[in-house]
Amino acid sequence: MKRNDLFQLVAPLSEKLYRFAYSLIPDDLQAEQLVIDSLNAYLIKEQKQIVKRDFDPRNKKEAQQLRRFYFKGLLKYLSDIGIRRSGQFTDHLKDMGPSGHAEFYRLEAKIRIVISLRYDARFSVEEIAEILAIPRYEVIEKLHNGRFLLLGHHQPEAPL
């Protein structure tokens, strides 16, 4: 597969990739840069796998399966790079006002990733575990903890 074929194949995913990047780093420019860097890293590191695959653009089912395959691969790189970069924005995330979804951005980066993959991208627990290369139980734990924290349940204070 040529690079142009890959770009044509993943072009419909650009909005989803950007939305996912924005869930990691709530800054337009930084989220866009994260998508670009992840795409470049994917192209460099997975070049052999990309070149080996050919697809017929007229076969919609094959194109859809291939698009999902590349989407998962790109999300893996987006997650890895995004986790490292989100640490640089910790102070910025804490200062976000209530209109900026402060509760969501106060969550640990991996929890935000799991929640975004599950509820925005609609991946199964098994697919999320595959994308993040973590065990299934850890995905379930992060989903549970994230929902718990987002719903405003805080641990009760210890009595004096």
| pLDDT tens digits along 79-100 | 999 998 887 766 665 555 445 5
- Gap between the Cα atoms of 98 and 93, Å rounded: 11
- Gap between the Cα atoms of 97 and 129, Å rounded: 32
Please report the pLDDT score of residue 60 as a whole number: 82
Please say whether the beta carbons of 150 and 107 come within 8 A. Answer: yes
* pTM of the predicted structure, to 2 decimals: 0.80
- Gap between the Cα atoms of 134 and 148, Å rounded: 21
Stronger pLDDT, 51 or 15, i.e. the higher one: 15
| Token pair for 103 | 């509760």
DSSP letter (8 states) at residue 11: G
Stronger pLDDT, 152 or 136, i.e. the higher one: 136
% helix, strand, coil for the chain, step of 5: 80, 0, 20
Please report the pLDDT score of residue 141 as a whole number: 96
- Gap between the Cα atoms of 104 and 23, Å rounded: 9
CA atoms within 13 A on the CB side of 64: 3
Please report the pLDDT score of residue 26 as a whole number: 84
pLDDT higher than 50, residue 2: yes
CATH of region 3-150, choose from 3.90.226.10, 1.20.140.160, 3.30.2020.30, 3.40.50.20: 1.20.140.160
